[in-house]
């Protein structure tokens, strides 16, 4: 069985950075990782990819040849990929024996809740190559600082979950920057747990721009609450504990933890004997401390950062939070 992640989310949410950081992290714990770039708009890749859609089709060529803009061009590219799925299968086959797969997808959101091509590609790979994939849906955490944008992030997450029909994890990415765009109106768990959206309505009512959409927003929040599917975990890709916590969650979601548990014990013992150099220039984790942490991480059930602790780390304390809630 081959395990992996389908990394999706709006442009700029951090997918490519995530694939880079996640592949380094997984390699450090001993997994063989292959990153598959399926985003034709990714031109300067920070990681070495095992498969690159640019070898099949280039967005710039499509835009010129078919007089399309970047969004139309990406829809065309996904359609082309679906029609040439044999190319992708042939490229993936040599990796199936021992690799963990990370798929870096394009950011145009309509590809994941409107058009069928990207989903068809994933479903075909799952069936033909017997893959166990989890969708990791990244949403920039700064959207929490604007209630209207937060509602649209919830709607996007819900429609993507329903459309993709995969084991799914929603992630508030770049949590380290959450306060850079303004103060949060509520505690962080309000945004991650998505339990009672009626409080948002009060905040939205104070904004004259949202007043005329009051009823619509209320109905949309009602839909999100009725489905009761959306919740978020948080991620700072530069922080090893944050990445480790997410890996544990993904391992449960795609089943790696159940099928690969023996393998992972071997992986960890290998690391203990011969430590790996960690020279990820952008996010330099400290190699030895991470190895120790990771050994503890699986072998001992260390407490994970709670959302309250994440808040303490990244969000300035505001005594009004509790009053508002």
Contact residues toward ligand GDP (CB under 6 A) are 9, 11-17, 107, 173-174, 176-177, 236-238
- Which residue's structure tokens are 């029909």? 165
Q: Which is nearer to ligand GDP, 16 or 254 (CB)?
A: 16
Q: Smallest distance from the beta carbon of 323 to Mg ion, in angstroms? A: 40
Q: Smallest distance from the beta carbon of 52 to Mg ion, in angstroms? A: 12
> Does the footprint of Mg ion cover residue 16 (CB under 5 A)?
yes
Angle 287-299/15-28 helices, nearest 10 degrees?
80
Q: Which is nearer to ligand GDP, 75 or 237 (CB)?
A: 237
Q: Smallest distance from the beta carbon of 99 to Mg ion, in angstroms? A: 21
Work out the number of other CB atoms within 10 angstroms of the CB of residue 211: 11
Looking only at residues 246 through 305 of this chain, which bind Mg ion when binding is defined by CB under 5 A? none
Q: Which is nearer to ligand GDP, 136 or 154 (CB)?
A: 136
CA dist list (Å): 37 to 11, 16, 91, 250, 302: 14, 9, 12, 20, 34
CA dist list (Å): 315 to 78, 151, 188, 251: 39, 20, 8, 28
Quote the CA–CA distance of 282 and 77 in Å, as a whole number.
30
Q: Which is nearer to ligand GDP, 16 or 117 (CB)?
A: 16
Q: Smallest distance from the beta carbon of 315 to ligand GDP, in angstroms? A: 15
Q: Smallest distance from the beta carbon of 138 to ligand GDP, in angstroms? A: 6
Site string for Mg ion, 40-59 (x = CB under 5 A): --x-----------------
Stretch that binds Mg ion, among 9-17, 224-232, 250-258, 287-295 (CB under 5 A): 9-17
Q: 14 touches which of ligand GDP, Mg ion, none (CB within 5 to 8 A by kind)? A: ligand GDP
Of 59, 87, 55, nearest in space to 72 by CA = 59
Quote the CA–CA distance of 195 and 63 in Å, as a whole number.
43
Site string for Mg ion, 24-43 (x = CB under 5 A): ------------------x-
Q: 37 touches which of ligand GDP, Mg ion, none (CB within 5 to 8 A by kind)? A: none
Q: Smallest distance from the beta carbon of 15 to Mg ion, in angstroms? A: 5
Q: 173 touches which of Mg ion, ligand GDP, none (CB within 5 to 8 A by kind)? A: ligand GDP
Q: Which is nearer to Mg ion, 42 or 264 (CB)?
A: 42
- Which residue's structure tokens are 């859609």? 53
Q: Which is nearer to Mg ion, 21 or 260 (CB)?
A: 21
Q: Which is nearer to ligand GDP, 166 or 235 (CB)?
A: 235
Contact set with Mg ion (CB under 5 A):
15-16, 42
């Amino acid at each position: 069985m081959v395990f992996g992640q389908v990394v999706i989310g709006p442009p700029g949410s951090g997918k490519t950075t995530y694939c880079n950081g996640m592949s380094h992290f997984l390699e450090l714990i001993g997994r063989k990782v292959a990153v598959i770039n399926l985003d034709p708009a990714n031109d300067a890749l920070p990681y070495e990819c095992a498969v690159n859609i640019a070898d099949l089709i280039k967005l710039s060529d499509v835009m010129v040849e078919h007089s399309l803009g970047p969004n139309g061009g990406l829809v065309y590219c996904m359609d082309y990929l679906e029609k040439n799925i044999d190319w992708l299968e042939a490229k993936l086959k040599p990796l199936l024996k021992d690799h963990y797969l990370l798929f870096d997808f394009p950011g145009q959101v309509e590809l994941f809740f409107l058009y069928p091509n990207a989903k068809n590609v994933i479903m075909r790979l799952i069936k033909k190559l017997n893959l166990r994939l989890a969708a990791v849906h990244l949403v920039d955490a700064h959207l929490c600082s604007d209630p209207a944008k937060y509602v649209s992030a919830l709607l996007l997450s819900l429609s993507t979950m329903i459309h993709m029909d995969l084991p799914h994890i929603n992630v508030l990415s770049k949590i380290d920057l959450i306060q850079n765009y303004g103060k949060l109106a509520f505690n962080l768990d309000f945004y991650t747990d998505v339990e009672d959206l009626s409080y948002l309505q009060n905040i939205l009512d104070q904004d004259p721009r949202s007043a005329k959409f009051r009823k619509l927003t209320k109905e949309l929040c009602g839909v999100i609450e009725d489905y009761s599917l959306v919740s978020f975990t948080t991620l700072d890709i530069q922080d090893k504990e944050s990445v480790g916590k997410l890996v544990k969650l993904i391992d449960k979601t795609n089943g790696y933890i159940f099928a690969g548990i023996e393998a992972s014990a071997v992986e960890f013992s290998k690391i203990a004997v011969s430590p790996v150099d960690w020279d990820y220039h952008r996010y330099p984790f400290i190699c030895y401390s991470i190895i120790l942490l990771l050994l503890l991480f699986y072998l001992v059930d260390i407490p994970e950062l709670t959302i309250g602790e994440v808040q303490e780390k990244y969000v300035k304390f505001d005594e009004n939070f509790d009053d508002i809630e």
